[in-house]
Structure 1
Amino acid sequence: MSDEEEDYMSDAFLNKIQDVKPGLPMLKRVKEAMKKEAQQTEKNAKNRQKTYKEQEQESREAALHNSISNENKGFALLQKMGYKAGQGLGKEGAGRVDPIPLNIKTDRGGIGMEEVRKRKAEEELEHYRQKVRTKQQNETKSMEDFRVRVRTEREERKIEGDLRRSQRACEQLDSQKSITVPREDWYWPKSGSDEEEEEDVEEKEKEEEDEVVELTSLDKLQILTSYLRGVHFYCIWCGTTYNDEEDLCSNCPGNTAADHE
């Protein structure tokens, strides 16, 4: 090592270095630096030139916080007409006391646009609610229609079954009384040949222009029930042939299926 180069491990070099102790002095310097930075920021804010909007906002707020003085011409005219500060407007003093508040418009929409948007939003909301109500009503109606349809189909099947039973009973009871021809064709159940003949007759009737009133299964059941009860004293729901009309009326609940439930 040359004489010109310093020995970094020697006492002479170490004594030149400032002794910096950790702890309180370091914290104090940090606080002072932060304080200087805050003061500089505040100074820059004061020296900064305010924008036109900021100046306008400050002027507006200052004017709103200060009451109208007697130098105002409008206020002077009101005083000449008997108005006093703090009194309501109008002859009886029942009008507005506070001035009309300012509503600063910040968007680029035209005057009244906000009301149009509000009304449109309310209309859309009401339309949505009406749509939901209509959907719920349609679902309820569809469910009710389905139940009615199922109930109607079940009742129709029951009527068809009672009619077939009545036709078989009528044929058997008529045969016991040596009746070879039914009073009406549909009083007895149809055989295979009878069904074919009936189909041919129906096709011919369709070709004709005359309107023919066709009995429903319920009409046929009511007519056939009346015939069985009046001629044979028989009730298909009781499954019994009574001795006479008096016996039938006394012991049979009625002439419908509902009476026997």
Structure 2
Amino acid sequence: MSDEEEDYMSDAFLSKMQDVKPGVSMVRRVKEAIKKETRQKEQNIKNRQKTYKEQEKESREAALQSSISNENKGFALLQKMGYKAGQGLGKEGAGRVDPIPLNIKTDRGGIGMEEVKKRKAEEELEHYRQKTRAKQQNETKSLEDFRSRVRTEREERKIEGDFRRSQRACEQLDNQKGITVPREDWYWPKADADDEEDSPEEEEEEEEIVELTSFDKLQILTSYLRGIHFYCIWCGTTYNDEEDLCSNCPGDTAADHE
């Protein structure tokens, strides 16, 4: 090998090569740039002249942190009257010890505006609560009315069904005893074909009669069935006599048989 040709495997050749590790030099340069920028910002903050508001704020905070000196005329008068530093105000020393805190207004609202806003917000909240309570009460009342209406309709349907059963039982039992005409027209079920039209005089008489409800008719008819035929529609049984009926039947209402 000639002297002019370099040995690529020798240390002399390798020492001349630059470090080409991927990303190492780039990361180092970025970190140095960030540090330099941070130092520059800190230096600018130190060299920057503070505004009037910042100076005023620092002065106020420094004054509030320091206690009143003996040179203050007001403090000197308090000491003459027997006040000692750190003692509460008042004759008994039960008053406040720390000065009244200073609250700086940052808005353009007048004095007392915050109280007005607070009172208004409380009134609106109370109004909202009242509306919510009224809505809940109305919903509860509507639900109760609905349940009561459903319960009433169910009871009316049950009463009407018991009344129809009583009519059929009354007709059958009357026929067994040879009774061909019911004591009252509504004791038996109505025939499918209507009778001849009533005369005007009969219509006027019917208008004067007070119409009985299904519940009233049911009570009257069941009393007739129990008294004449010793029959209970809820038991579905014809008893031998009144004594047998009173001894074995739970009662004369549907509720007694539940």
TM category, shorter: 0.7 to 0.9
Q: 1:224 to 1:32 in 2, by over 3 A?
A: closer
Q: 1:220 to 1:90 in 2, by over 3 A?
A: same
- 1:222 equivalenced with 2:219 (yes/no): yes
Gaps of 5+ in 2: 1-15
- 1:76 equivalenced with 2:76 (yes/no): yes
Taking structure 1 as the reference length, what is the TM-score of the superposition?
0.75
Aligned ranges 1:147-226 → 2 under 5 Å: 147-194=147-194, 213-226=210-223
Which one-letter code corresponds to 2:226 in the other structure?
R
| SS of aligned partner of 1:134 | helix
Structure 1 Cα separation of the partners of residues 203 and 77 of structure 2: 103
Following TM superposition, the consecutive aligned residue runs of length 4 or more in structure 1 with deviations greater than 4 angstroms are: 21-24, 30-35, 37-44, 193-198, 200-206
**Which residue of 2 is the match for residue 16 of structure 1?**
none
Q: What is the CA distance between 1:38 and its match in structure 2?
A: 5.8
**Which residue of 1 is the match for residue 128 of structure 2?**
128
**Which residue of 1 is the match for residue 93 of structure 2?**
93
Indicate the larger mover: 58-67 or 115-124.
115-124
| SS of aligned partner of 2:90 | coil
Deviations, residues 69-88 of structure 1 (Å, cap 9, x unaligned): 12212111111111111110
**Which residue of 1 is the match for residue 250 of structure 2?**
253
Structure 2 Cα separation of the partners of residues 106 and 232 of structure 1: 96
Indicate the larger mover: 181-190 or 58-67.
181-190
| SS of aligned partner of 2:246 | helix
Give the number of equivalent residue pairs.
236
Which one-letter code corresponds to 1:232 in the other structure?
H
Q: What is the CA distance between 1:195 and its match in structure 2?
A: 7.7
Gaps of 5+ in 1: 1-18
**Which residue of 1 is the match for residue 4 of structure 2?**
none
Structure 1 Cα separation of the partners of residues 66 and 202 of structure 2: 101
Q: 1:201 to 1:55 in 2, by over 3 A?
A: farther
| SS of aligned partner of 1:127 | helix
Q: 1:145 to 1:33 in 2, by over 3 A?
A: closer
Q: Percent identity?
A: 82
Aligned ranges 1:23-38 → 2 under 5 Å: 34=35
Deviations, residues 96-137 of structure 1 (Å, cap 9, x unaligned): 000000111111222222222233333333333343333333
- 1:55 equivalenced with 2:52 (yes/no): no
Deviations, residues 119-159 of structure 1 (Å, cap 9, x unaligned): 33333333333433333333333333322222222211111
Deviations, residues 45-69 of structure 1 (Å, cap 9, x unaligned): 4543432212221221121011111
Q: What is the CA distance between 1:40 and its match in structure 2?
A: 5.4
| SS of aligned partner of 1:181 | coil
Q: 1:32 to 1:139 in 2, by over 3 A?
A: closer
Structure 2 Cα separation of the partners of residues 46 and 242 of structure 1: 115
Structure 1 Cα separation of the partners of residues 128 and 179 of structure 2: 71
CA RMSD of superposed structures (Å): 3.4
- 1:244 equivalenced with 2:231 (yes/no): no
Structure 2 Cα separation of the partners of residues 135 and 202 of structure 1: 54
Q: 1:42 to 1:229 in 2, by over 3 A?
A: closer
